[in-house]
């Protein structure tokens, strides 16, 4: 008779319940860790790598009782896909043979800008996803990324990052989807739907509050209160969990003195009991060991294991260190109940069962020639990059005249690295390998503009260094041109090996190195200067913007970014991206995000003005939609337990296609606690052909007005509100005055999070 756990026709719950009692404690614990096949002596991936990984153990010993996960078999070093498949298949067979039950390992990889593997498509960065205001396109990208992962035998992806930007100086701004919780949640949910639809487990990062660290320092303490956590930090996670994410990764930080990795109120009470999550919680790399080495809340690894498992972390990543012998010792000593091991194991095995890893006929994917950068993927990367480019300012110089002689200058003008963020494979891994080709074709902006224009070039120095001769060379090129295209920005890197990326936090928001000085010298030539920013965060250009002929932001637009930028600069594409983060104003100090309350805005009692240079949601085009009526179709009363509806009429009177992003902001006239002056509650990107008319309809549930009250309970509160409808947070075209009527409501975790949007012909 077939054992129940081996029977694919039996329910997942019954299979897992049958298997767990058959396992020894050592076999149970073995399922709660991963193995990373990286040599800790190299130590390039991250600081503290050697110490955090602990002493290396023989492979046969590690897998003797089974193995929970295999960590980044394709994303640790450049490996041909077929060779990687062959090696992974052999590893999986070894894992199966070594344990009594023949259970293979679950395989995970990074996938922030596409699968982080050699020769795989490098898509635009998450800031670009958000700038596109196109969740459908982001979902398509997630689906294609997931399909590539499944072909390689990868089961889990460590993305998306749902941290809401709170301080632009933070190095990981480039990995986020901006400063607005609704936009982050809308975009991140789309990515989750795409990845999960391909059968890959999406992992939400970093739960919770990682981007709220003091002074924007990486892996630093967080001082936010429970209301900021509930109303700013958590909504994107709630939206993405409803989209079907099956895994969550903890944050490195501590909040008010409690590390996330040791916080049962966060990882169990909130995440599971309140939000209803039933998937796996995986440790951010080394975070369990950090309870001892960095947070100092554990004296021994045994203490760290007990704290993390009790809090709700199911799987230790990237390698077995704390969840091995220390966990066994804690159970043996009676300081940890084996039921907590079983709790984590049940979640791990349930997920493995869902992935087919407990089926008797499961076999690893065999070696084959796998194309990871197909034409369809490149086309999608190009389309997303095009839709994410933001035109910030233009005096009419753009689009570039077809016969204009261009000086394409600046440290980002002629390097493929300018297109890539810190978690792309070329910047994350290949930088540690000399003489290895990049694996995918990535053009530079200089190359792309040379297809259509006469181009001269000078680098003007590097991102972080330049001498006077470098700047003089760029000035000479600009002086002899009709238009100067100055390509400036960041070098993505890790832990100080760049100006943007993990561990690359900054003290102010001035352009890195001597780039601001270079820009001033170019402006002094009298040649019209169009600045193109390829950046991981916004920078302060308040001193130059009025003298620029044009300003374009591409963030890190991926392998097809140069073509996308060239298409926008030359007018082949009408720019339609909108800012997911505000650009700072004068002074380079940390500005308020646009979610500030009235006290966080400009006032007469301080000389520090936080007004942004370019506001959240801003973006121009070469032609724009004509706005018609904005109408509340359900009247001025909005039930506290019901919906209100509004419509926006748009038409295209131009002779070219246009793209408009209709943005709806909520303003609470008077709340029982301090509220942001306004916050995004709905948005829709609408494309219109010449002469086309469209009607955009929004249905908004009153739950979208909810907030955390004085007693820390979420409320929908009756009273006056406004719905401000516009083209950006500072470009409001109509204000609808409404009255929330009815009783105070407590909508709870099941509240409505997303409005209904319908775009149709009138």
- Whose tokens are 């006077």? That residue is 468
In a domain, 618, yes or no: no
Query: In terms of domains, do 549 and 417 share one?
Result: yes
CA separation for the pair 525, 460 (Å, rounded):
14
pLDDT of res. 191: 98
- DSSP-derived pairing of the beta strands 258-259 and 254-255: antiparallel
Respond yes or no on whether the N-terminal peptide bond of residue 298 is cis (omega within 30° of 0).
no
Between CA 202 and CA 419 the distance in angstroms is 25
- Both structure tokens of 234: 């958590």
Same domain, 102 and 178: yes
Residue at 172 is within a domain: yes
Q: Distance between CA 177 and CA 179 in Å, rounded?
A: 7
Residue 53 has a pLDDT of 61
Bridge pairing between strands 679-688 and 658-668: antiparallel
**Which 3 state secondary structure label does DSSP give 54?**
coil
Q: How far is residue 23 from each of residues 27, 302, 324, 510, 730, measured CA to CA in Å? A: 6, 22, 15, 58, 61
* 3 state SS of 78: coil
pLDDT for residue 590: 59
The distance of Cα 637 from the centroid of its chain, to the nearest Å, equals 37
Q: Which two tokens stand for residue 668?
A: 């609470």
Specify whether 531 is located in the same domain as 572: yes
Determine the pLDDT at residue 43. Answer: 47
Please report, for residues 23, 103, 193, 345, 674, the alpha-carbon distance to residue 4 in angstroms, rounded to integers and kept in the order given: 14, 15, 31, 17, 56
CB within 8 A of 658, min separation 6: which ones? 574, 576, 621, 623, 624, 625, 652, 687, 688
pLDDT, one tens digit per residue, over 526-583 is 999 999 999 999 999 999 999 999 999 999 999 999 999 999 999 999 999 999 999 9
407 and 293 assigned to the same domain: no
Contact 607, 585 (CB under 8 A): no
590: Cβ contacts below 8 Å, ≥ 6 apart: 167, 168, 169, 216, 509, 584
Cβ–Cβ under 8 Å, residues 575 and 391 = yes
Same domain for 217 and 276: yes
CA dihedral 8, 10, 14, 17 (to 10 degrees): -30
Q: Count Cβ neighbours within 10 Å for each residue of 517-534 and write b for 16 or more, e otherwise.
A: ebbebbbebebbbbbbbb
Half-sphere exposure of 404 (CA within 13 A, CB side): 22
**How crowded is the C-beta side of 532, counted as CA atoms within 13 Å?**
33
**Measured distance CA(420)–CA(444) in Å, rounded:** 11
The rounded radius of gyration (Å) of the Cα atoms in the chain is 26
CATH number, domain containing residue 503? 3.40.50.1700
- Given 310, 329, 354, which residue is the final one in a domain? 354
pLDDT for 529 equals 98
What tokens appear for 490 in the block? Answer: 């960041």
Strands lying side by side in the sheet with 637-639: 637-639, 731-741, 719-728, 658-668, 679-688
Are 480 and 565 contained in the same domain?
Answer: yes
Q: What is the CATH number of the domain that holds 692?
A: 2.60.40.10
Q: Domain count of the chain?
A: 3
Instruction: Kindly give, in sequence order, each residue whose CB lies less than 8 Å from that of residue 165, ignoring residues fewer than 6 positions away.
Output: 173, 176, 178, 179, 211, 581, 593
On whether both 553 and 635 belong to a single domain, the answer is no
**Domain limits for position 673:** 626-760
Asked if residue 518 lies in contact with residue 461, where contact means CB atoms within 8 angstroms, the answer is: yes
Q: How far apart are CA 482 and CA 189, in angstroms?
A: 45
HEC readout, 693-750: EEEEEEEEEHHHHCEECCCCCEEECCEEEEEEEEEECCEEEEEEEEEEECCCECCHHH
| Co-location of 638 and 549 in the same domain | no
Measured CA distances, 121 to 72, 124, 382, 424, 425 (Å): 17, 10, 11, 9, 10
Instruction: Please report, for the domain that includes residue 347, its CATH number.
Output: 3.20.20.300
Q: Characterize the bridge pairing of strands 626-632 and 643-651.
A: antiparallel
Tell me if 296 is assigned to some domain. Answer: yes
Question: Does a structural domain hold residue 373?
Answer: no
Distance of alpha carbon 421 from alpha carbon 226, whole angstroms? 32
CA 452 to the chain's CA centroid: 34
Instruction: Note the pLDDT of residue 586.
Output: 73
Asked, for residue 125, whether it belongs to a domain, the answer is yes
Element (DSSP H or E) covering residue 549: none
Using CA of residue 723, residue 729, residue 734, residue 735, what is the dihedral sign? positive
Report if pTM > 0.85. yes
Answer whether residue 380 is part of any domain: no
Q: Are residues 183 and 315 in the same domain?
A: yes
Residues in the chain, pLDDT under 50: 40, 42-43
Contact 33, 71 (CB under 8 A): no
Minimal CA–CA distance to 323: which of 367, 291, 365, 360? 291
Is residue 340 within 8 Å of 18, Cβ to Cβ? Answer: no
Structural domain ending residue among the three candidates 354, 379, 403? 354
Residue 281 shares a structural domain with residue 150: yes
Question: Which DSSP string do the residues of 240-294 spell out, in sequence order?
Answer: HHHTT--EEEE-S-EETTEEGGG-HIIIIIIIIIIT---SEEEPPTTHHHHHHHT
The end-to-end CA distance of the chain, in Å, is 64
3-state secondary structure of 330: helix
244-258 pLDDT, tens per residue? 999 999 999 999 999
Closest C-alpha to 384, from 50, 218, 588, 135: 135
Q: Are strands 69-71 and 34-36 parallel, antiparallel or unpaired?
A: parallel
Considering the domain architecture, whether residues 51 and 117 belong to the same structural domain is answered as yes
Residue 439 lies in a domain: yes
Are residues 640 and 578 part of one domain? no
Q: Is residue 190 part of a domain?
A: yes
């Amino acid at each position: 008779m077939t054992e129940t756990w081996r029977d694919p026709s039996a329910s997942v719950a019954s299979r897992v319940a049958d298997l767990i009692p058959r396992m020894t404690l050592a076999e149970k614990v073995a399922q709660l860790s991963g193995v990373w096949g990286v040599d800790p002596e190299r130590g390039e991936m991250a600081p503290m790598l050697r110490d955090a990984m602990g002493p290396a153990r023989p492979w046969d010993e590690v897998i003797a009782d089974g193995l929970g996960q295999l960590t980044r078999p394709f994303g640790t070093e450049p490996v041909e896909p077929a060779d990687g498949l062959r090696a992974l298949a052999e590893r999986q067979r070894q894992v199966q043979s070594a344990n009594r039950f023949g259970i293979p390992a679950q395989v995970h990889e990074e996938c922030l800008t596409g699968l982080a593997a050699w020769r795989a498509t490098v898509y635009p960065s998450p800031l670009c996803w958000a700038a596109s205001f196109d969740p459908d396109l982001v979902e398509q990208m997630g689906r294609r990324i997931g399909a590539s992962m499944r072909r390689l035998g990868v089961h889990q992806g460590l993305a998306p990052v749902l941290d809401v930007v709170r301080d632009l100086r933070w190095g990981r701004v480039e990995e986020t989807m901006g400063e607005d919780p609704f936009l982050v949640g809308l975009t991140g949910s789309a990515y989750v739907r795409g990845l999960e639809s391909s059968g890959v487990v999406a992992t939400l990062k970093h739960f919770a509050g990682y981007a709220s660290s003091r002074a924007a320092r990486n892996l630093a303490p967080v001082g936010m209160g429970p209301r900021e956590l509930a109303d700013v930090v958590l909504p994107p996670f709630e939206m993405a969990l409803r989209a079907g994410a099956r895994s969550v990764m903890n944050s490195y930080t501590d909040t008010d003195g409690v590390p996330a990795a040791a916080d049962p109120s966060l990882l169990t009470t909130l995440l599971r009991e309140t939000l209803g999550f039933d998937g796996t919680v995986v440790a951010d790399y080394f975070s369990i060991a950090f309870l001892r080495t960095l947070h100092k809340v554990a004296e021994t690894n045994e203490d760290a294991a007990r704290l993390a498992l009790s809090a709700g972390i199911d799987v230790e990543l990237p390698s077995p260190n704390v969840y091995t012998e220390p966990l066994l010792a804690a159970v043996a000593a009676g300081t940890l109940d084996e039921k907590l091991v079983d709790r984590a194991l049940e979640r791990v095995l349930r997920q493995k069962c869902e992935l087919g890893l407990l089926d008797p006929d499961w076999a690893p994917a065999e070696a084959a020639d796998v194309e990871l950068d197909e034409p369809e993927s490149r086309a999608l990367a190009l389309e997303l990059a095009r839709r994410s480019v933001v035109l910030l300012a233009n005096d009419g110089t753009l689009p570039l005249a077809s016969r204009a002689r261009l000086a394409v200058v600046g440290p980002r003008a002629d390097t493929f690295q300018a297109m890539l963020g810190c978690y792309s494979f070329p910047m994350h891994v290949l930088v540690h390998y000399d003489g290895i080709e990049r694996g995918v074709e990535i053009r530079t902006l200089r190359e792309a503009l040379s297809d259509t224009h006469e181009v001269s070039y000078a680098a003007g120095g590097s991102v972080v260094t330049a001498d006077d001769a470098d700047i003089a060379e760029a000035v000479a090129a600009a002086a002899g041109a009709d238009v100067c295209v100055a390509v400036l920005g960041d070098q993505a890197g890790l832990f100080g090996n760049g100006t943007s990326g993990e561990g690359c936090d900054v003290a102010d928001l001035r352009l890195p190195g001597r780039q601001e000085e270079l820009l001033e010298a170019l402006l002094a030539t009298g040649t019209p200067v169009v600045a193109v920013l390829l950046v991981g965060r916004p920078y302060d250009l308040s001193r130059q913007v009025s003298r620029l002929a044009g300003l374009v932001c591409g963030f890190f637009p991926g392998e097809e970014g140069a073509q996308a930028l060239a298409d926008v600069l030359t007018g082949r594409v009408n720019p339609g991206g909108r800012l997911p983060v505000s650009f700072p104003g004068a002074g380079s100090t940390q500005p308020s995000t646009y979610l500030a309350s009235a006290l966080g805005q400009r006032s007469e009692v301080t000389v520090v003005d936080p007004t942004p240079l370019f506001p959240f949601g801003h973006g121009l085009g070469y032609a724009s939609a004509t706005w018609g009526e904005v109408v509340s179709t359900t009247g001025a009363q909005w039930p506290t337990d019901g919906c209100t509806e509004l419509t926006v009429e748009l038409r295209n009177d131009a002779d070219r296609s246009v793209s408009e992003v209709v943005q709806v902001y909520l303003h609470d006239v008077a709340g029982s606690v301090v509220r942001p002056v306004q916050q995004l509650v709905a948005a829709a990107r609408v494309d219109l052909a010449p002469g086309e008319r469209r009607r955009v309809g929004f249905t908004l549930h009153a739950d979208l007005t909810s907030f955390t009250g004085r007693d820390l309970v979420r409320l929908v509160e009756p009273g006056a509100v406004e719905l401000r409808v516009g083209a950006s947070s500072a470009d409001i075209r109509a204000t609808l005055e409404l009255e929330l009527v009815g009783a105070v409501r407590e909508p709870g975790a099941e509240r409505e999070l997303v409005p209904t949007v319908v775009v149709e012909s009138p």
